[in-house]
Structure 1
């Protein structure tokens, strides 16, 4: 039972996948969002390729816990995924995950250019790992 984690952004979608036991998340790739919405086809391919049983989409909330316009866009994206892929899609609070990913990459002395290429994938990994940790059956 693998889970796909998505960090849905304005221009890119970070993608992560869990191991078969649902213990760890690994960054997979970054999808460029396209006008023709071809990213939905790629997500469907990843679901088949990795035998995904459910999806977690990061939900950007305001610091006071409310959902703003950006969150509404992510909710609509999650609902579309649920309808097109016929899989459970969970929304997970992603507050500060991109900032945490960015900070980790800066501390690791990763160049600005390389950070831009991997920050979304790393944020997706953090979202998915937080979800896995909160839902572990320990």
Structure 2
């Protein structure tokens, strides 16, 4: 797939036009998922323009939370300097797994056998005559 589809499909990664647009822009960092972040130029309000080039499929849930805040101008400096260190109880960021075999499935889901635990007596079914 790679180079043959790259000029025409944006969902497989950055297109050739994106790479040409990033000429002269500065690489400012990379996150734990391998996404690369760029900055350069300014928008119509005078704010610096910021980009992410995804490592893999273009999916906004693949942006780490600290870099999300940088991309959306919630912090001015780079995340490792502007934000406090991660807490011991924090888990690393994950991409959204919906639609994949790794998606969360509750106990009663059909993909897990469709068996749910019996009602405990605190549930009363609605009937139209009630």
Q: State if a TM-score over 0.5 links the two structures.
A: no
Which structure is higher in helix share?
1
**TM-score scaled by length of structure 1:** 0.21
Larger Rg: 2
Which structure is higher in strand share?
1
